[in-house]
Amino acid sequence: MAKLILKSPYIKSTGGASGYLKYIATRERVEIIPDDRPPTRKQEQLIVKLVKDFPDCKTLYEYEDYAAKPTKANASAFITLALESNWDALHESDQYMKYIATRPRAERLGEHGLYGDEDGVVLDKAMDEMENYTGNVWTHIISLKREDAARLGFDNAAAWRDLLRAHRNDIAAAMKIPPNDFRWYAAFHDEGEHPHVHMMAWSAKARQAYLSKDGIRQIKSALTNHIFQQELLHIYEQKSMSRDELVYEARKAMLEMVRTMKERICNHPDAERLMLELALQLETVKCKKSYGYLPKPQKKLVNKIVDEMERLPSVRKCYEQWMILQGKVDAYYHDKEQKRVPLSQQKEFRSIKNAVIKEAENIRQCKLFFEDKGVERESEPEEFRNASYDYWDLRDVIRDNTLTLEERSDAVSELEKLAGNSDKHAQYLMGKLWRDGPLLTPNTVNARYWFQQAAEQGHSYAQYALGKLLFSDDVDVRDPEQGMRWLVTAAQSGNSYAAYRLGKEYYRGKNIEQSFTTAAKWFDRAAQDGNQYAQYMLGKLYLMGQGVDYDKQMGVHWLSQSAAQGNAYANSLLKQQNSGRPPNVFLGVTRLFHHMGRIFQEHFLPQSNPGGIQIDRKRLEELQEKREAHGLKGSVYEEYKGPTMSM
């Protein structure tokens, strides 16, 4: 059962809004005396009729109590709130109106309990306002369990008044009413096991207001987040032990599985078969290649692929852990426990479907990717046998994280002096420090300067780093023509990483004109020099016949060379050679597997808005990618304690 119940019926302009206003304003505080005797026959008959006429009233707390323990007291409590929830319809039923007129009443406290944006509401004036209003009036009924109301301080009129005033603009927005046109009155009824508040809301302009199911959810979410804010924030706490050990263990297990999914190679022949089938079907699809635009047959196939991926143990377990976390939050918002749905039908993970389509489209276009995570770290070494002792000493201090920031910063100052004296290794390291930080505030112009100083002295790794920097999207330094010149210079100096990067540039065709043939030549040059990434890529080109003639023997040769150096992707492709499965399809499913890992990581925190600072998921992903590129340990998803938001 949800922590907060919200009912939002409305009264038509002819439905007696003024009468309802008087009723909630002056209705006595009903004190239900414990009575474990069975309900009367009349109560039972009326309850049967209420449930038949208004099925939605079965979601009330009071019905839950009555169903669990059918007594006179519980029957009375349920009948009371069920009638109040359906005021507009009651005027059309003599039986209901007779009950309201003759129901037992207790002593009233005070003249009335009505309030709105201001205190001191004049009841007669408010009733006259309602009597002359020609639009519809919504009658929100907001209810808490007694134990929650007492524990959180919502067992008094002042707390509810402050809550509704704080969120009156949120309620107005959900009802499509501009804040200046929003009108409301409310009264708190502290009775039984479920204290509740009645709120009448309408627009100063008749027929302007509109409340959809989504609007009701917005109101409920806003009030729930406020009332249960501390408890919700507790669920999101990342580094402290949760009071609920299950939540803590679920988070821990989910994060570990996400890491595994992002790094593993996926061997799933059934998913590959379906992906190839989708790729062929996309050939005839003329609409936008996005799930929302696809024809029904292709949508079904996409769903089937997601269901097939869910069969993978790591995906299934990760999804199960996510549901445990999400269930803790759902309990605050939903009246019933949320049923488990297949991953393909889970709205929170709709982005997986577009990831499926994206990879199928890549397969259709025979696109190859590089699978070269780690190349950036390996391609820019800092240890050089012919470097000066001064360089070695300063470099060791700068990279020693156990030293103080002041000590390391002093070493950077000394390194700059050494670079100023034409030490090319010091110049190269200064370029990296200006580009990457953290001891210097990143500045690409300064990085370019120092890289170029070292490059002009023949430092091949500086030439390579400078070429990459000039290919970047940073407008302060971008110069693709000069970037190409420095990469070629580095490659001709024997830098296999520069040759590999040139192959990538020609293959992608982003910065220079695309040429698979030229790309293959540069990959071949780097492969001949022992570059495992180039060997792996060249092997794939031979197997696909891209830029070179198809040659399975050469493809296997270069994949074997790469695998011998520990390239897991090359090793996996070698194992698939006798299966007849195209390498791009096998790798496409693996990339989809990695996409799913990232999507699960983005959803590491269950969906809600408990307040506080929020970070865009895409920004979190960018920060994590930078962390990994720089070889830093840990996860920003673990360190960030707040909720995420989609953009």
Domain chopping of the chain, boundaries = 4-233, 245-368+593-645, 375-528
pLDDT (mean) for 248-275 = 75
Write down the pLDDT at residue 249. Answer: 65
pLDDT (mean) for 474-486 = 95
Confirm if 260 and 596 have CB atoms less than 8 A apart: no
Output 599 or 233, whichever has higher pLDDT: 599
Q: What is the dihedral of CA 369, 371, 376, 382, to 10 degrees?
A: -140
Write down the pLDDT at residue 591. Answer: 84
* H-helix segments, 185-228: 213-227
pLDDT (mean) for 504-509 = 94
As a whole number of angstroms, the distance between CA 366 and CA 583 comes to: 10
Write down the pLDDT at residue 76. Answer: 76
pLDDT (mean) for 140-159 = 85
Residue 368 CA: distances (Å) to CA of 299, 359, 364, 372, 591: 25, 11, 11, 12, 11
Structure tokens given for 35: 């009575």
Write down the pLDDT at residue 234. Answer: 55
Q: Which DSSP letter does residue 13 get?
A: T
Give the angle 31-29-157 at the CA atoms, nearest 5°.
120
Write down the pLDDT at residue 440. Answer: 93
Lowest mean pLDDT among 57-71, 263-277, 446-460: 57-71
pLDDT at 289 over 80: yes
As a whole number of angstroms, the distance between CA 251 and CA 181 comes to: 45
State the amino acid at position 626 in one-letter form: K
Give the angle 209-210-216 at the CA atoms, nearest 5°.
120
How far is CA 255 from its chain centroid?
14
Q: What is the percentage of the chain residues whose pLDDT exceeds 90?
A: 35
As a whole number of angstroms, the distance between CA 300 and CA 315 comes to: 20
pLDDT at 613 over 80: no
The mean pLDDT value of the chain amounts to 80
pLDDT at 191 over 80: no
pLDDT at 305 over 60: yes
Q: What's the sign of the alpha-carbon dihedral 293, 297, 300, 306?
A: negative
Write down the pLDDT at residue 419. Answer: 96
Write down the pLDDT at residue 605. Answer: 52
pLDDT (mean) for 306-310 = 90
Write down the pLDDT at residue 396. Answer: 95
How would residue 196 be classed by pLDDT, with cut points 50, 70 and 90?
Answer: confident
Highest CATH level, class, for 375-528: mainly alpha
How would residue 432 be classed by pLDDT, with cut points 50, 70 and 90?
Answer: very high
Output 34 or 405, whichever has higher pLDDT: 405
Output 647 or 500, whichever has higher pLDDT: 500
As a whole number of angstroms, the distance between CA 51 and CA 79 comes to: 10
Residue 642 CA: distances (Å) to CA of 239, 434, 614, 636, 646: 12, 31, 6, 11, 13
The pairs formed by 565-570 with CB atoms below 8 angstroms and a separation of 24 or more are 565/530, 565/532, 565/535, 566/532, 567/532, 567/533, 567/535, 567/536, 568/265, 569/265, 569/371, 569/536, 570/532, 570/535, 570/536, 570/539
How would residue 246 be classed by pLDDT, with cut points 50, 70 and 90?
Answer: low
Least Cα distance to 201 among 170, 158, 155 occurs for 170
Structure tokens given for 573: 């492709």
As a whole number of angstroms, the distance between CA 196 and CA 176 comes to: 24
Confirm if 400 and 409 have CB atoms less than 8 A apart: no
Give the angle 105-109-113 at the CA atoms, nearest 5°.
105
Lowest mean pLDDT among 89-103, 201-215, 296-310: 89-103
As a whole number of angstroms, the distance between CA 243 and CA 328 comes to: 12
pLDDT at 79 over 90: no
Write down the pLDDT at residue 108. Answer: 35
Q: How many residues does the chain have?
A: 647
How would residue 197 be classed by pLDDT, with cut points 50, 70 and 90?
Answer: confident
Write down the pLDDT at residue 640. Answer: 41
pLDDT at 29 over 70: no
3-class DSSP assignment, residue 537: helix
Write down the pLDDT at residue 614. Answer: 43
Least Cα distance to 536 among 545, 526, 547 occurs for 526
State the amino acid at position 249 in one-letter form: E
As a whole number of angstroms, the distance between CA 412 and CA 396 comes to: 11
Write down the pLDDT at residue 165. Answer: 92
How would residue 590 be classed by pLDDT, with cut points 50, 70 and 90?
Answer: confident
443-454, pLDDT tens digit by residue? 999 999 999 999
pLDDT at 117 over 50: yes
Q: What is the percentage of the chain residues whose pLDDT exceeds 70?
A: 76
Q: What's the sign of the alpha-carbon dihedral 369, 372, 375, 377?
A: positive
User: What are the two backbone dihedrals, phi and then psi, of residue 225, each rounded to the nearest 5 degrees?
Assistant: -60, -40
How would residue 338 be classed by pLDDT, with cut points 50, 70 and 90?
Answer: low
Write down the pLDDT at residue 624. Answer: 57
Instruction: Give Dmax over CA atoms of the chain in angstroms.
Output: 102
Structure tokens given for 512: 């220079």
Taking the CB of residue 577, how many other CB atoms lie within 10 A of it? 14
As a whole number of angstroms, the distance between CA 530 and CA 544 comes to: 22
As a whole number of angstroms, the distance between CA 532 and CA 57 comes to: 67
Give the angle 531-535-540 at the CA atoms, nearest 5°.
155
Structure tokens given for 542: 């031979």
310-334, pLDDT tens digit by residue? 888 888 888 888 887 777 666 655 5
Q: Which DSSP letter does residue 343 get?
A: G
Lowest mean pLDDT among 309-323, 325-339, 503-517, 600-614: 600-614
pLDDT at 336 over 90: no
pLDDT (mean) for 325-351 = 74
Output 462 or 597, whichever has higher pLDDT: 462
Residue 176 CA: distances (Å) to CA of 172, 208, 623: 6, 7, 37
pLDDT (mean) for 552-564 = 94
